[in-house]
């Protein structure tokens, strides 16, 4: 019996910006693959920005956050931009609790907004 992976991705390209649309769950088992996927997109010739769209992501753990933070750091070192868009629900809550919401989304992290 084949097991379905807990996450999927789809890549969209608009000029110099690559958007990776994630769905499902990014946990310890998926973190290395997610990190590698984001780095590959950052390394594509002519790419200036990689965006991780988390609209359809419903779970992320510390290892998954680590993959996003690693991509952010990699991009900064390369003079590129990496950002996370559309985190909601439990994903946004974990990002806020760990203090990386503002860093990864490029927005002010206002905890008074309540749970996402």
Type and span of the H or E element at 39: helix 28-42
pLDDT (0 to 100) of residue 54: 98
pLDDT at 114: 47
pLDDT of residue 95: 97
In sequence order, what are the residues at sequence separation of 6 or more whose Cβ sits closer than 8 angstroms to the Cβ of residue 51? 17, 18, 19, 20, 82, 83, 84, 85
Considering the entire predicted model, what is its pTM?
Answer: 0.90
Residue 16 contacts residue 46 (beta carbons within 8 Å): yes
Q: How many CB atoms lie within 10 A of CB 92?
A: 21
Question: Would you state the pLDDT for residue 99?
Answer: 95
pLDDT at res. 58? 96
Three-state secondary structure of 77-98:
HCCCEEEEECCCHHHHHHHHHC
3-state DSSP call for residue 100?
coil
Cα–Cα–Cα angle for 12, 9, 16, rounded to 5 degrees: 25
d(CA 108, CA 97): 14
pLDDT by residue, tens only, the chain of 116 residues: 556 679 999 999 999 999 999 999 999 999 999 999 999 999 999 999 999 999 999 999 999 999 999 999 999 999 999 999 999 999 999 999 999 999 999 997 655 444 44
User: What confidence score (pLDDT) does residue 109 get?
Assistant: 64
pLDDT score, position 108? 76
Query: Would you tell me how many other CB atoms lie within 10 Å of the CB of residue 2?
Result: 4
pLDDT at residue 4, rounded to an integer: 65
């Amino acid at each position: 019996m084949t097991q379905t992976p807990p996450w999927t991705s789809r890549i969209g390209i608009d000029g110099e910006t690559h958007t990776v649309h994630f769905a499902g769950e990014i946990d310890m088992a998926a973190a290395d693959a997610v990190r590698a996927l984001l780095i590959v997109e950052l390394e594509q010739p002519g790419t200036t920005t990689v965006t991780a769209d988390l609209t359809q992501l419903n779970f992320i753990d510390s290892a998954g956050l680590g993959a996003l933070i690693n991509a952010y750091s990699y991009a900064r070192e390369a003079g590129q931009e990496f950002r996370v868009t559309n985190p909601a629900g439990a994903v946004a809550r974990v990002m806020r609790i760990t203090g990386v919401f503002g860093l990864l989304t490029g927005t002010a992290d206002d905890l008074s907004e309540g749970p996402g």
